[in-house]
Every structure is written in C-alpha cells, then in structure tokens.
C-alpha cells in the first residue's frame, strides 16, 4: 500500500490543466507560473494557447501538451488529425484526444480504433493519450474502450475531460489498468484535488495525473516531506 510520495516524485506525474474556456490571458499566465514554480511534468493547455505557453515556459523544464477533439470527441477524424498537426507545429509535445464517445457506446469498435490510430499516426511518435470520459460509460464500455485504445496504438488511456459532470474514480482507474498491457499507461484526470486523491489514483494504477490543483496537492506533499524530515520516519513503502 502506497502511504507517501515525495513532492518531486509526485510533481513528475502531474499534467497541470489550463483548459477552462473562460480563462483570460491573465488567468493563463497565473496558471503557467504555478506550473513553473512547482516544476510539474507538463501543462495541458487549450490549443490556441500552445505557442504562447511554449514561449512562456521556455527554460523551465515544463512540457506543453494539449487536447484534441475536446471536450466531446465528436469532431471528425480528419479534424482531429488537423488539430494534432497544428498542435505539433505550435510546439506541443503530447496530445490528449477525446474518444468518439457515441461510437464507443454504439459498439462501433472498428471506427473507434481507426479514429485513435489516425491521431497516433499524426502525432508522429509524440505521446497520445485517449480520454474515455468514464462518467458517461458503464464498466463494460470502460474496459472495452481501454482495450481499443491499446489497439489504436496510444501510449495512455485517460479517464476524463473534467467537463462531463464526473471525473476519475479509483474503481475506474483499476478497471482501465486491468484492461491494458504493461506497455500502456493510465492517466487519472478530473476530481484529483488533494494529496490523498493523488495517492489513491497512483495506488490504483495511474502513472500520470491531470489536475488544476497542482499547487494544493504539491503543497500538501511538501508538508508531508517536511514532517518526515523532522522525524526521520520515512515509510519504507513510499513511492
């Protein structure tokens, strides 16, 4: 059982989400500054913010990713491919695509795989994560969507956009982890707001976490680190 994780190890799992449609440039700047201050793995920004984020974060070591077909997944495959190509041209290094949720729920598995595979091909070796939107799916659909994600060649299967009225759950992360091979990773996103949430998702099998609460989560991790340093009692099961 994972009981602790250091601030630095936890930061290396975080994709700091900057995706709300109402965010102003001032809001975006504040979020980018948080990402740089806490040295998270990456930011996940709106497509129109990619080039700006790349420029502002230059030299910080924070990667820039973006979303594709967001948030509903219902844009055409051709449109998703065009988004990926533009994202890479603007400097994104990872893309998080939304699966065609209706096609998945309809059992159109070949269409789902083809949609994913086209995005993966367009990404040209850059990491592609596939968002299932688990709040809109039952367990069978989550399990099948996870397997189809692997068939399409994506590097990650991801729980949620955070815009569909529900986010990641421990049970869904475990289900996703159980339905892909070791070569595919799981990203938990949506509702990951605390250090305890982060630990629970990592313990369930996630290796990347999407959150807009990076400062809160890492602040809690820093306090845990400080407490352990003061007592010298670092749990041998720490992540």
pLDDT tens digit sequence for 69-105? 999 999 999 999 999 999 999 999 999 999 999 999 9
What phi, psi does 13 have (nearest 5°)?
-100, -5
pLDDT per residue as tens digits for the range 119-145? 999 999 999 999 999 999 999 999 999
Q: What's the confidence (pLDDT) of residue 237? A: 30
Q: What's the confidence (pLDDT) of residue 232? A: 44
Where do the structural domains in the chain lie, given as residue ranges? 7-230
Q: Can you say how many angstroms the Cα of residue 138 is from the centroid of all Cα atoms in its chain?
A: 20
pLDDT averaged over 10-residue windows placed end to end, the chain, 239 residues: 86 98 98 98 98 98 98 98 98 98 98 98 98 98 98 98 95 98 98 97 98 98 84 36
Q: What's the confidence (pLDDT) of residue 229? A: 60
Of the candidates 60, 79, 81, the residue with the CA atom closest to the CA atom of residue 16: 60
Q: Are 50 and 64 in contact (CB under 8 A)?
A: yes
- The answer to whether the predicted template modeling score (pTM) of the entire model surpasses 0.85 is yes
Q: What's the confidence (pLDDT) of residue 207? A: 98
**Each residue of 158-184: b (16+ CB within 10 Å) or e?**
bbbbbbbebbbbeebbbbbbebbeeeb
User: How far apart, in whole angstroms, are the C-alpha atoms of residue 186 and residue 176?
Assistant: 7
CATH numeric code, 7-230: 3.20.20.70
Q: What's the confidence (pLDDT) of residue 230? A: 57
Q: What's the confidence (pLDDT) of residue 1? A: 54
**Each residue of 123-157: b (16+ CB within 10 Å) or e?**
beebbbbbbbbbbbbeeebbbbbbbbbbbbbbbbb
Q: What's the confidence (pLDDT) of residue 233? A: 40
Positions annotated as catalytic residues are: 96, 158, 187
CB 106: neighbour CB atoms within 10 A?
11
List the Cα angle 119/122/123 in 5-degree steps. 85
Q: What's the confidence (pLDDT) of residue 227? A: 86
Q: Are 203 and 24 in contact (CB under 8 A)?
A: no
């Amino acid at each position: 059982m994972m009981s602790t994780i250091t601030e630095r190890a936890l930061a290396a799992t975080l994709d700091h989400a900057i995706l709300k449609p109402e965010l102003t440039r001032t809001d975006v700047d504040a979020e980018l500054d948080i990402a740089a201050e806490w040295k998270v793995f990456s930011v996940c920004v709106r497509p129109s913010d990619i080039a700006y984020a790349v420029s502002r974060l230059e030299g910080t070591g924070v990667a820039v990713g973006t979303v594709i077909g967001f948030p509903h997944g219902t844009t055409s495959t051709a449109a998703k491919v065009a988004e990926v190509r533009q994202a890479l041209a603007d400097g994104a290094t990872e893309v998080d695509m939304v699966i065609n949720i209706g096609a998945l729920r309809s059992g159109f598995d070949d269409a789902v795989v083809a949609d994913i595979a086209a995005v993966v091909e367009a990404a040209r070796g850059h990491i592609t994560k596939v968002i299932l939107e688990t709040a809109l799916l039952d367990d069978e659909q989550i399990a099948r969507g996870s397997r189809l994600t692997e068939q399409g060649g994506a590097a990650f299967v991801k729980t949620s956009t955070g815009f569909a009225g529900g986010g990641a759950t421990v049970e869904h992360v475990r289900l996703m982890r159980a339905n892909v091979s070791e070569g595919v990773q799981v990203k938990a996103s949506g509702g990951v707001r605390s250090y305890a949430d982060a630990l629970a998702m990592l313990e369930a099998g996630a290796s990347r976490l999407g959150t807009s609460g990076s400062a809160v989560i890492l602040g809690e991790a820093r306090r845990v680190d400080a407490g352990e340093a003061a007592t010298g009692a670092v749990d041998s099961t720490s992540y």
